[in-house]
Structure 1
């Protein structure tokens, strides 16, 4: 790993592209969230512009809970010098909810209200909590634990995920997203991502299989979300095509867009991000994502250089 004061440019730029990719996918997908592919075609033909609107009536370039939750979580990790602390994560997400965000999922709301009542930063295990809310905000954890061993990454992912989503399918998918981001940071190709991470994941969790049927109109269920994301990632060859493919499937399009965006951003690097989308993105969000990506990668590099095991989760 590079030194903390001089992280390898490819790692840092890929991390920034991943964070910007998350925000771009969120902003692009929000316009067509809850629409069907047929409705999207009737209204837009192909939806390929950051234009705002949608059921949330957003201004062009504004983002939803996918991006703002990630930034809240990342702020807590930076404040903790790279440690993914379960209580700090819960407090950060609770603070985010108190800020009256533009949107919030039912599972997130319910379990954060329970955290307020009990002070326990871990929701009870539930078969009903297999939503995509933990996966969509996992990027700062993936960046902070870059260079750590798989067990450390998995534990950190679950520390943040279980604040609101304590479910085996959610855990498996959220860990996969983090690992795929890290593969992208290392410069892996799509084929290498599939071979190293996706194929073994599908063997262990066959419910996520996405071949041969295309997953259109994906719901907030993590299985459908990941089927759409993985299919779009593997069936396209650049950042723009990946995001256009996945958001035009409709359904929970801001989240499929956000997850696909972080993966494709890490894979394809900043030069692949369309200038027209970057110019349309809320400047404050663009600035915040770049700054947080840099801070998290610096912390990851410092941990690796110092030979520390920090970055591992804490549950006290």
Structure 2
């Protein structure tokens, strides 16, 4: 049997940084074109590819939205608790909302308000909670559970159900986590594509080929958009530009495709002009959180000094 090479801890940490910074970059770039149509984007920008802020939220260049901010909340909760603690996650969300963030989705706001008022840690199942608010923030859970799919599935759904309790949302959260795990452990493009095709066969709602061309806040549209641009491009820049020029919920599709492409192509694959524009405080925090989450992932401890298995 040929030895199967796995990344060492330093390489894994680098991929984690690429994922978290990529998420923030995608969020900041996509926020400009959120709620616009492709036709409106073309008329105003021709091709939107500069991190200029503005958009419907009137952001500063490099400023992020709820996608990155809620992801950082989960990362902070894990760090402060030194492990997974759903109440700590809910507390971070509550503090974040009380701080009047620049943007918060209606379903997220409702779930967090229920926690503040009633200490509710699980929203009621609802067909109307198939938005992408749970999917957009699951990155820290995936990093912390790297190497343990059971914990991934448990924790990623627990954080989802704080605000979004829907089987489509759950399925997307779990699979994106698994896909990220595959990338972090060095999976090649063809393997990722095969895994995604298997997921789509199991969950045909998410079929993205042919691409339906929708990019709304509905989790199905989001997943289809991310898969289409992830697998039809071969570099981070083209992947993200194609995604955010689709408009719709562009900060979230941008964040998610930035997360996956950032892990796959690495921090070095992200254009420097975007890295320089990204809010420096956000960059510093997501960099530190990504390293912490990987270094404290319980399942990765045996890999500390191991570089290959047979």
TM-score by length of 1: 0.91
- Cα distance in 1 for residues equivalent to 2:300 and 2:9: 13
* Residue 194 in structure 1 maps to residue 193 in structure 2: yes
1:203 aligns with 2:197: no
Q: What is the CA-CA distance between 1:114 and the residue it aligns to?
A: 1.2
1:234-313 aligned within 5 A: 234-300=231-297, 302-305=298-301
Tell me whether 1:21 sits opposite 2:22 in the alignment.
yes
Deviation at 1:7, TM superposition (A): 5.9
Q: Which moved more, 1:74-83 or 1:280-289?
A: 74-83
Partner residue of 1:180?
A: 179
Offset at 1:190?
2.2
**Equivalence for 2:3:** none
Please name the residue that 1:125 is paired with. 125
Contact 1:86 1:122 in 2 (8 A): no
| Contact 1:24–1:281 under 8 Å retained in 2 | yes
Q: What's the RMSD between the two structures over aligned residues?
A: 1.5
What do the CA deviations read for 1:49-74 (whole angstroms, capped 9, x no partner)?
A: 10110000001000000001100111
Report if aligned partners of 1:125, 1:166 keep a CA contact under 8 Å in 2.
yes
* TM-score, normalising length: structure 2: 0.93
The count of residues paired between Structure 1 and Structure 2 equals 297
Report the more deviating stretch, 33-42 or 115-124. 115-124
Partner Cα distance (2:233, 2:188) in 1? 12
Any idea what the Cα deviations from partners look like across 1:171-219, whole Å, max 9, x if unmatched? 00011111111111111122211213x1221111101101113424x11
1:97-108 to structure 2, matched below 5 A, reads: 97-108=97-108
Q: After superposition, give the CA deviation of every residue in 1:237-260 in whole Å (9 maximum; x if it has no partner).
A: 011111001000000000000000
> Where does residue 13 of structure 2 map in the other structure?
12
DSSP 3-state at the match of 2:296: helix
**Who is 2:110 aligned against?**
110
Contact conserved, 1:89 with 1:163, CA < 8 A, in 2? no
Runs (5+) with no aligned partner, structure 2 = 1-6, 304-310
